[in-house]
Structure 1
Amino acid sequence: MAIMRWDPFGEMLRMQRDMDRIFSRMGTDGARGESAAVAWMPRIDVKAKGDDMVVRAELPGIDPDAVEIEVTDGVLTIRGERAVEDAREDEGWLIRESSYGSFERSIVLPEGVTTEGIRADYKDGILEIHVPKALEAAKPKTTRIAIGSGA
């Protein structure tokens, strides 16, 4: 009789593969592998670069004319939509993981930036928004109020 060696890590790897297989099926429509309608959000990075705060958003396959950028009450909002490609049943999709639909991302702007002079560029599916730092920090303003005599 041969002695078999037991590897506990092998069992853990098998369990991990099984779990990966289960989770990879979530969000798909049965055996066809089509993604179910799942909300998606573009990935963003925010960094300080020189005199600007730079927000980079990954928007591959999105027409820049379908993207809106606005600032309201110190919150920068990017919204848009990735249009669904025509998917005919007879095209023979084996796997379809792309996400489509509307999205909206909001970022609270930090103190010390100004909304004047914000600019945005779009190249190769990357939206880059430059928010300039304020040239001078806003100083508290004191207003003296005169006291009148009588009402």
Structure 2
Amino acid sequence: MSTVSLWTRRDPFAEFDALVRSAFSPVAARRGFVPAAEVTRDGEDAVVRVELPGLDVEKDVTVEVDRGRLVVRGERRDERTDERDGRSLREVRYGSFRRSFALPQHVTADAVTGSYEAGVLTLRVAAAYTGTEPRRVAIAQK
């Protein structure tokens, strides 16, 4: 987000216009939302956690290994209707998402297992760190 400075001759209306255009552009509409994710190490395994609260993971989420990447993608659809005093309020939130994580060459789809609990998708990549320890190279002196 840009800032407006009192000491420059920027046009604040032009900056606001650019901000609105970028927010409502077709590219922004395709972006959807980006769920938070973390990757941690547990021994030789990699553990990927992706926050996906309120999703039906069996219906709305796909996890696959594609060309050396662990790909988590799906769509969030949330519709709520509230009726009070003869008035109806309907709120609709939706958006697609895609997160991908690089995998070592030796990892296949068989090494990935997953579970979903309390809005968090947890994927364990077995033996992801096997053979990745750095090795010291001896330097010969002449």
| TM-score interval (norm. to shorter) | 0.5 to 0.7
Higher alpha-carbon Rg: 1
Equivalent residue in structure 2 for 1:53, among 30, 42, 46: 46
Structure 1 residues not aligned, in runs of 5+: 1-21, 28-36, 138-151
TM-score (norm 1): 0.55
Per mean C-alpha deviation after superposition, the further-off stretch among 109-118 and 61-70 is 109-118
TM-score (norm 2): 0.58
Q: Which runs of 4+ in 1 moved over 4 A?
A: 86-90, 111-114, 134-137
Q: What corresponds to 1:5 in structure 2?
A: none
Taking a change above 3 Å as real, the CA distance of residues 110 and 91 of structure 1, as seen in their structure-2 partners, is: farther
Q: Distance in 2 between matches of 1:82 and 1:103?
A: 8
Q: Distance in 2 between matches of 1:104 and 1:45?
A: 14
Q: Distance in 2 between matches of 1:134 and 1:81?
A: 28
Q: What corresponds to 2:112 in structure 1?
A: 118
Q: What corresponds to 2:34 in structure 1?
A: 41
How far does residue 92 in structure 1 lie from its aligned partner after superposition?
4.7
Q: What corresponds to 1:140 in structure 2?
A: none
RMSD of aligned alpha carbons: 3.5
Contact 1:76-1:106 within 8 A present in 2 as well? yes
- What is the SS of the residue equivalent to 2:110? coil
Equivalent residue in structure 1 for 2:96, among 75, 84, 102: 102
How many residues of Structure 1 are paired with residues of Structure 2 in the alignment? 104
- Identical residues among aligned pairs (%): 39
